[in-house]
Chain A
Amino acid sequence: MEDISTTKREILSLFTSYRDALDSHHDQRERVIKCSRDITALSKKIVFSLLRITQVSSPDSVFKDAEKQHKQVLDLFRKISVELQGSNSLKYNRQATPGLQEYIEAIGLWTFLQDNVLISKDQVLERLSVANPDGIVVPLVSVTDEDYILGISDLPGEVNRYCINAIGKGDHEAVKRCLMFLRQMKEGINLLMSSTRVRDLDKKVAVLDSSLEKTERAYYSMSIRESEMNTQSGCLSMAVDA
């Protein structure tokens, strides 16, 4: 039988406690990742529900569906909030932020479709708020400025999707709204980019630029077709003359 020295015994007992601490940290991190992934999946479903708005006669039914899904997301946020109390909120921010960003994108699209405005950070927190056991309404999780900025900078892609659908339905007003919205977002994000660096924002700005361009192209084609329609007889006669 090997004789275990006092030094070794002490070291082993210390490291056993370190193992427990590390395990507990890794488990918690894992739970945040899983929950964040679920939030992402459900938020994407909300986005898809909302995009069906051009397919239905009354937008209310779309918002009603989204409301149902939103309740489920809030249940997930209730679950994740347990892991994100106090200093843990920022400790696990990197794991939690993908879900949170996707959620902000979903409710951002919702707010745009409903009120034609960009959702504010306070509005995001409001949507995330539920009454705690003391009856006070508080947000389930905290949202950092970075979470918010990265969340809304995902919006252009969805707004562009909505815009293309709207063109298909001949809803010119909607196309105009989209274009205005995207231009203002571009202006705002550029303002932010001018002074500070937010991690991962560069990639999202590239998507914003291409969404804006696609929307402008779409608007352009629509305008051409429109003027073509209005002057169709004139154009035709010119073509014949030539």
Chain B
Amino acid sequence: MFGYILRRLAVAVPTLLLLIVFSFLLMHAAPGGPFTGERSLPPQVLANLEAKYGLDQPLIVQLWNYLKGVVLQFDFGPSFVYPDRTVNGLIADGFPVTLTYGLLSFVLAALVGITLGVAAAIRHNSWLDYLAVGTSIGAQVLPNFVMAPILVLVLTLWLGWLPGGGWSFNDPSYWIMPVIALGTSYMASIARITRSSMLEVLGSNHIRTARAKGMPERRVILRHALKPALLPVISYLGPVFVSMITGSVVIDIYFSTGGIGRSFVDSALNRDYAVMMGITILVGALTVLFNLIVDILYAWIDPKIRY
């Protein structure tokens, strides 16, 4: 197992390197640059700016310098669009925000989703099942860009209970709507996956055997059914976890949280090469890491899986 983890981590290095090189080249291939604006800059001013950020160098030299900075100093460089900020600083400011609401939202979605799914499967075709399926379908057709305005309309405009946007680490009332809006549709998917996987497991031979030997139903469900039923859920949760903690552009725009979900999209539109690269690397590294964690969880849950 330990060897396997080491091998996986070794593969991660070239994977990330390829990601960096491709993103870097694609980004620079897009028309326009960070200083393309309504008013074309006088050539000298543009030259000064490009010299300041090293954009006057050949692309391959820029890439080399960038890689050197990232690998040797963990320095993602200065932002091209926020002149008094560095990429490290921007990520340090924005990532804790998305991490906070993303993590809470993930926990909420996973807990409620799995509970709903399991309950629906156990009481298959009962009112509880219909309620659970109905709820999850309802939640599924309410993606975050629909949920967000509804929440604001009800909780801010009508009831006046919560602030309509903004962010504060000290005041959880700012977190509630982002957490709900982001988590709802994920919760629905988790419930549906859990339910169908649980139904399948409940119909399998080892469950019939467990029941036949008179094992209490509670034990059958928790020990013998839930664990294998969670495998597909976990492979879904891995990438979902990464995408949730790195934020959502919809949530960040709608609730003005200052999170990196918006910075990611903005940086691409603004051609803020360094910020775009920094967040790409962050998301890439987290994805690689959590895929590995999912695989380790697999082995832990299912003794049949050995690496």
On whether the two chains bind one another, the answer is: no
Chain A interface (Cβ < 8 Å from any Cβ of B): none
Chain B interface (Cβ < 8 Å from any Cβ of A): none
